């Protein structure tokens, strides 16, 4: 790492002033989700003078509403897209082993074999898991990092997913994939690593007029920028930045439960959707003692909201599917919260829509703006590489080669070096090598009774992670805000953290 990765309000003010004095930059990146933060890191680490403008906060958009999985690409194999599946598996390996071992861990996935799952479906899942092993090996990820898939006994299935029905349970099928400690943390880690490489990371700064103007949404002031090239990474809002493209969103919803509702889940409980082939609902162990249950896929036309809302129909669908395997059905009363995110579909010239949730698209508009849209959290690095290659070509910039394959994110640590760190386990799991620094940033007391978040984490969010308001702390630096009652209890601590 070359420079200081800490983001705070003073740095933001300094950098805005510096930009006002010298508005000529190589690359302006619009959007501080995983895509934009990845592009900023790629560009800055190639030696380009880079500015990232995010109108709200880091991970404000879709990047905080994902399933938080680092996929090996199995689902793409099912539709015959071998190249995309391989790319996903390679990127998963890079994240797990090199760039973010502190943020991504191996997660067992279990399909319980109950009478409702027919022989054909079982054979299909088994074949898929074996194909996943081939993909993993092909991507160079060893079984020590992600174990082989296998059939497990009923007792082991129940150990991992204790609330699954015992009657008729003939064991389970188990495979492994990657899970992020939290998606918003990946975005913050990327943005801070980009800042350490010289990128100016500016939140509460909206890009207007195609990136020619930046507006500080806190002060209302504007500055005129002279970027050699603009990379539009505004996600589902990309068509408001570049009107030459047209997007149509589709909504994916998750429900939030207490971990106790699933009896202490030790794996991704994977439930086939009755009557479908290759479609599943997942219950995923999550931070703050929660379980996330997802995922739906619903057409969501109309204006793009800042915070999408799940519908009753989606709630019924998710409960209905998971209850097919549970001993005691879950009901609406068990739901503690919910969240929904939008995936973009690209409208092509003929009026049809193209699903870019699998393979991303890099488009160059008639004005020379480069838009990168679609893809996955998992493949953000490859998306960034493609976008910056295109930007460099389009604008005739002089830049080094892409370096991000071997560029660890701030806090990256694994193995013996991690074992030597002295800090509470929970902090090690969320902050990696920075855990001792976080512990030293403030008091180890909980922000509210029963919460696992400490005052030190809120203080670190402000001093190092660019949090500018209580919302940033509650909804993105931590995920306390996913349960309304927890949010209310933690609000005074978040407000007090700003003095
Ligand atoms: C429900 C769901 C589940 C998913 N699960 C997974 C998963 O488990 N694993 C996986 O790999 N992928 C997953 N994905 C895909 C992944 O979440 C997305 O591909 C990714 O988060 C998109 O990131 P982005 O940066 O392109 O967009 P966003 O995160 O939406 O970022 C765009 C940003 O641009 C900003 N912006 C907009 N306009 C302007 C402007 N004018 N000026 C400045 N800033 C602006 C917005 O505020 C926003 O922060 C999932 C997607 C969905 C919808």
Residues 189 and 147 in one domain: no
Ligand 1 pocket mutation, candidates 67, 178, 233, 303, criterion most atoms within 8 A of CB: 67
Q: Which residues, other chains included, contact 490 with Cβ-Cβ below 8 Å and sequence gap of 6+?
A: 447, 448, 451, 453, 474, 478, 480
Residues 308 and 393 in one domain: no
- With a 6 Å cutoff on the Cβ, whether 375 touches ligand 1 is yes
Q: Quick check: is 2 in a domain?
A: no
Residues 341 and 252 in one domain: yes
- With a 6 Å cutoff on the Cβ, whether 57 touches ligand 1 is no
- With a 6 Å cutoff on the Cβ, whether 31 touches ligand 1 is yes
- Among protein residues, the one whose CA lies closest to atom 21 of ligand 1: 63
- With a 6 Å cutoff on the Cβ, whether 378 touches ligand 1 is yes
pLDDT digits (tens, 9 = 90+) for 271-306: 999 988 778 999 999 999 999 999 999 999 889 999
pLDDT at 350: 66
Ligand 1 centre from 123 Cα, in Å? 35
Other Cβ atoms closer than 10 A to 380:
29
- Among protein residues, the one whose CA lies closest to atom 37 of ligand 1: 234
User: 354, 380, 406 — which closes off a domain?
Assistant: 406
pLDDT at 282: 97
Residues 284 and 297 in one domain: yes
Ligand 1 centre from 160 Cα, in Å? 31
Q: Quick check: is 26 in a domain?
A: yes
pLDDT at 355: 72
Measured N-to-C along each axis, helices 34-45 and 183-196 cross at an angle, to the nearest 10 degrees, of: 20
- With a 6 Å cutoff on the Cβ, whether 234 touches ligand 1 is yes
- With a 6 Å cutoff on the Cβ, whether 60 touches ligand 1 is yes
pLDDT digits (tens, 9 = 90+) for 336-361: 999 999 998 887 766 666 676 778 99
User: 294, 315, 345 — which closes off a domain?
Assistant: 345
Ligand 1 centre from 376 Cα, in Å? 8
Residues 333 and 259 in one domain: yes
Domain interval for residue 471: 415-497
Give the residue from 39, 6, 152, 64 showing the smallest Cα distance to 340. Answer: 64
Ligand 1 centre from 26 Cα, in Å? 24
Q: Quick check: is 72 in a domain?
A: no
pLDDT at 59: 98
Which two structure tokens, joined as six digits, stand for 497? 């953290």
Residues 440 and 325 in one domain: no
Ligand 1 pocket mutation, candidates 231, 234, 252, 482, criterion most atoms within 8 A of CB: 234
Q: Which residues, other chains included, contact 452 with Cβ-Cβ below 8 Å and sequence gap of 6+?
A: 287, 288, 289, 426, 446
- With a 6 Å cutoff on the Cβ, whether 63 touches ligand 1 is yes
- Among protein residues, the one whose CA lies closest to atom 27 of ligand 1: 235
Q: Quick check: is 71 in a domain?
A: no
Q: Name residues of the chain where pLDDT drops below 70.
A: 1-2, 349-354, 356
Ligand 1 centre from 187 Cα, in Å? 10
pLDDT at 349: 67
Distance between CA 39 and CA 404 in Å, rounded? Answer: 10
Residues 390 and 421 in one domain: no
Q: Quick check: is 75 in a domain?
A: no
Beta-sheet strand order (sheet of 222-224): 205-208, 213-216, 222-224
Task: Indicate the number of domains in the chain.
Answer: 3
- With a 6 Å cutoff on the Cβ, whether 252 touches ligand 1 is yes
Index of the ligand 1 atom closest to the CA of residue 57: 49
- With a 6 Å cutoff on the Cβ, whether 34 touches ligand 1 is yes
Residues 160 and 45 in one domain: no
pLDDT at 292: 98
Q: Quick check: is 288 in a domain?
A: yes
Cα 495 to the center of its chain, rounded Å: 26
Residues 303 and 171 in one domain: yes
User: 406, 424, 458 — which closes off a domain?
Assistant: 406
Ligand 1 centre from 235 Cα, in Å? 5
Residues 333 and 260 in one domain: yes
- With a 6 Å cutoff on the Cβ, whether 65 touches ligand 1 is yes
pLDDT at 125: 92
Using an 8 Å Cβ cutoff, are 302 and 257 in contact?
no
Residues 313 and 166 in one domain: yes
- With a 6 Å cutoff on the Cβ, whether 233 touches ligand 1 is yes
Ligand 1 centre from 206 Cα, in Å? 16
pLDDT at 46: 98
CATH classification at residue 221: 3.50.50.60
């Amino acid at each position: 790492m070359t420079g200081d990765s800490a983001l705070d309000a003073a740095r933001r003010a300094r950098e805005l002033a510096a930009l006002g004095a010298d508005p000529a930059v190589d690359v302006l990146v619009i959007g501080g989700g995983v895509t934009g933060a990845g592009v900023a890191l790629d560009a800055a680490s190639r030696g380009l003078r880079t500015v990232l403008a995010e109108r709200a906060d880091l991970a404000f958009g879709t990047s905080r509403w994902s399933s938080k999985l680092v996929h090996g690409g199995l689902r793409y194999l099912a539709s015959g897209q071998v190249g995309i599946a391989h790319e996903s598996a390679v990127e998963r390996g890079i994240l797990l082993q090199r760039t973010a071992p502190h943020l991504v861990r191996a997660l067992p996935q279990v399909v319980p074999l109950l009478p409702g799952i027919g022989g054909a479906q079982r054979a299909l899942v088994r074949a898929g898991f074996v194909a996943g092993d081939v993909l993993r090996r092909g991507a160079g990820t060893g079984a020590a990092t992600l174990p082989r898939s296998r059939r497990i006994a009923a007792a082991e299935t129940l150990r991992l997913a204790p609330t699954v029905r015992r009657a008729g349970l003939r064991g389970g099928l188990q495979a492994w994939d990657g899970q992020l400690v939290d998606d918003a943390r990946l975005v913050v880690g990327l943005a801070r690593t980009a800042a350490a490489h010289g990128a100016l990371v500016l939140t509460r700064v909206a890009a207007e007029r195609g990136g020619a103007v930046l507006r500080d949404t806190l002060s209302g002031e504007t500055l005129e920028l002279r970027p050699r090239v603009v990379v539009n990474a505004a996600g589902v809002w990309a068509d408001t930045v570049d009107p030459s493209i047209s997007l149509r969103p589709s909504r994916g919803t998750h429900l939030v439960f207490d971990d106790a509702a699933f009896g202490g889940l030790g794996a991704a409980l994977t439930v086939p959707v009755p009557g479908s082939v290759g479609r599943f609902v997942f219950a995923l162990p999550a931070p703050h003692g929660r379980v996330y249950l997802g995922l739906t896929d619903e057409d969501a036309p109309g204006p793009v909201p800042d915070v999408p809302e799940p519908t009753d129909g989606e709630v019924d669908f998710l409960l209905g599917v998971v209850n097919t395997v549970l001993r005691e059905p879950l009901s609406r009363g068990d739901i503690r919260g919910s969240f929904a995110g939008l995936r973009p579909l690209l409208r092509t010239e003929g009026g049809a829509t193209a699903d870019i949730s699998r393979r991303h698209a890099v488009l160059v508009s008639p004005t020379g703006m480069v838009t990168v849209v679609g893809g996955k959290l998992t493949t953000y690095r490859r998306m960034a590489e493609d976008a910056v290659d295109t930007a460099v070509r389009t604008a005739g910039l002089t830049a080094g080669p892409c370096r991000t394959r071997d560029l660890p994110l701030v806090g990256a640590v694994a193995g013996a070096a991690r074992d030597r760190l002295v800090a509470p386990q929970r902090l090690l799991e969320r902050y990696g090598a920075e855990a001792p620094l976080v512990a030293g940033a403030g008091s180890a007391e909980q922000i509210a009774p029963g919460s696992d978040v400490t005052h030190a984490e809120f203080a670190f969010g402000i001093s190092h992670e660019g949090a500018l308001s209580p919302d940033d702390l509650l909804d993105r630096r931590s995920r306390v805000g996913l349960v309304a009652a927890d949010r209310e209890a933690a609000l005074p601590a978040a407000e007090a953290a700003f003095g």
